[in-house]
């Protein structure tokens, strides 16, 4: 099930989940991200958009300084 940006924001409000929203241009690195939101507090993140051999898609999000091995990910399992 996918959401548009507007639907996602409305859903967060409906569920009374607090959040802060910061608009910035698309960036490809954590270093670029830091230029726009590094002074906002909280942790910077990195996101990977992955596809497995069965053409299933995944998004992996982690704090910017997290190191992980893709081989260690659990592919295609409900978590």
In sequence order, the 6+-apart residues with CB closer than 8 A to the CB of 33 are: 24, 27, 44, 45, 64
Say what the pLDDT of residue 42 is: 85
Query: Is pLDDT larger for residue 65 or for residue 76?
Result: 65
Question: What pLDDT is stored for residue 9 in this prediction?
Answer: 94
pTM over 0.75: no
Residue with the bigger pLDDT between 58 and 71: it is 58
């Amino acid at each position: 099930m996918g959401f548009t940006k507007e639907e996602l924001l409305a859903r967060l409000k409906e569920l009374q989940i607090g959040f802060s929203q910061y608009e910035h241009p698309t960036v490809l690195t954590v270093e670029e991200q830091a230029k726009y939101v590094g002074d906002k507090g909280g942790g910077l993140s990195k996101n990977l958009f992955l596809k497995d051999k069965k053409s299933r898609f995944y998004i992996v999000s982690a704090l910017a300084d997290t190191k992980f091995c893709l081989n260690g990910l659990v592919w295609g399992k409900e978590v």
